[in-house]
Structure 1
Amino acid sequence: MMMKRSKENSKSFPIDLILEILSRLPAKSTGRFRCVSKLWSSMLHRPYFTELFMTRSVSRPRLLFALEEPDEWRFFSLPQTN
């Protein structure tokens, strides 16, 4: 019964809102959120999200990349300097 309730709650948030929130988080956090669900993984792997992240991220990294290792992903970013 608890499982059903959590599924209902997750459907109540529009995908656009989730993307808006995630795009403002640090790169390391967004990398971790890829493991939340298949839906989130799919959303965060799309080029649209990468572009959104680059324009709306608080730190506005100039360079964002990920390395896939056998059992984990590593995410790196360089902040914009003035």
Structure 2
Amino acid sequence: NSESIPADLIFEIFSRLTAKSLSRFRCLSREWASIFCSRNFTHSFLTRSSARPRLLFTFYVDGKLFSYSAPQPRNPDQDLWLDLS
């Protein structure tokens, strides 16, 4: 029951989720959907997301589209190796 969890804690937990998870959870509750659409939540989510950039790789194999997401290296001189085997 969300009434037993403080609103600020719910807000903090949701702001740490991925955009994909948020889009799924939005359908579960009108209360959650209203949180996700609020200006404060949107600002918090975008600020947190921009602080943890990710690299997105997409590729085709046998006619199927695959994607892989990885954290962007914090050190720009650091090599990033990706083994797709």
Q: Work out whether the TM-score is over 0.5.
A: yes
CA shift in 2, pair 1:80/1:59, >3 Å: farther
- Shift of residue 35, structure 1, vs aligned partner: 1.2
Identity of aligned residues (%): 53
Q: TM-score scaled to structure 2, two decimals? A: 0.55
Distance in 2 (alpha carbons) for counterparts of 1:60 and 1:19: 18
CA shift in 2, pair 1:59/1:25, >3 Å: farther
Name the structure where helix makes up a greater proportion of residues.
1
Q: Give the structure 1 partner of residue 21 of structure 2.
A: 29
Q: TM-score scaled to structure 1, two decimals? A: 0.56
**1:45 counterpart letter in structure 2:** C
Larger Rg: 2
Distance in 1 (alpha carbons) for counterparts of 2:51 and 2:24: 17
Kept in 2: contact 1:43–1:49 (CA 8 A) = yes
Aligned residues: 59
Equivalent residues in 2 for 1:56-71, closer than 5 Å: 56-57=48-49, 60=52
CA shift in 2, pair 1:49/1:12, >3 Å: same
CA shift in 2, pair 1:58/1:21, >3 Å: farther
Structure 1 stretches of at least 4 aligned residues deviating more than 6 Å after TM superposition: none
Equivalent residues in 2 for 1:65-80, closer than 5 Å: none
Q: Give the structure 2 partner of residue 12 of structure 1.
A: 4
Residue deviations 1:4-23, cap 9 Å, x none? xxxxx321011111110011
